[in-house]
Amino acid sequence: MYVTDTGKVREHNEDDGGIFTNEAGDYLAVVADGMGGHQAGDVASSMTVNLLRSFWEPIQHSFSVEEAKHWLEEQIRQVNQYVYDQAASDQKMAGMGTTIVAAVCMRSYMVIAHVGDSRAYQISEHELNLITEDHSLVNELKQSGQLTEEEAKDHPRKNVLMRAVGTEPDVNIETVSLQWQIGDGLLLCSDGLTNKLEAEKIHEHLQAPGSLHERALSLIHTAKERGGEDNITLAVILQSSLEKEVE
Pinpoint the alpha helices (H) of 90-157: 137-143, 149-153
Exposure of 8 by Cβ count < 10 A (0-12 exposed, 13-18 middle, 19+ buried)?
middle
Domain boundaries, the chain: 2-133+161-245
Q: What is the pLDDT of residue 246?
A: 44
> For residue 157, how many other CB atoms are within 10 A of its CB?
9
Q: How far, in Å, CA of 221 to CA of 227, rounded?
A: 10
What distance in Å separates the CA atoms of residue 65 and residue 104, rounded to the nearest whole number? 9
pLDDT, tens digit, 9 for 90 and up, residues 94-142:
989 999 999 999 988 999 999 999 999 999 989 999 999 999 887 777 7
Encode pLDDT of 17-54 as tens digits: 999 999 999 999 999 999 976 569 999 999 999 999 99
Judge whether residue 212 has pLDDT over 50: yes
Per-residue pLDDT reduced to its tens digit, 58-91: 999 999 999 999 999 999 999 999 999 999 999 8
Angle, helices 65-89 vs 40-56, to 10°: value is 140
Q: What is the pTM of this model?
A: 0.93
In CATH, what number does 2-133+161-245 get?
3.60.40.10
In degrees and rounded to multiples of 5, residue 47 shows phi and psi of: -55, -45
Residue 144 is predicted with a pLDDT of 74
What is residue 160's predicted lDDT score, i.e. its pLDDT?
A: 83
**Nearest CA among 237, 192, 12, 196 for reference residue 102:** 237
Dist CA 68 CA 137 (whole Å): 29
**Confidence band of 245 (pLDDT split at 50, 70, 90):** very low
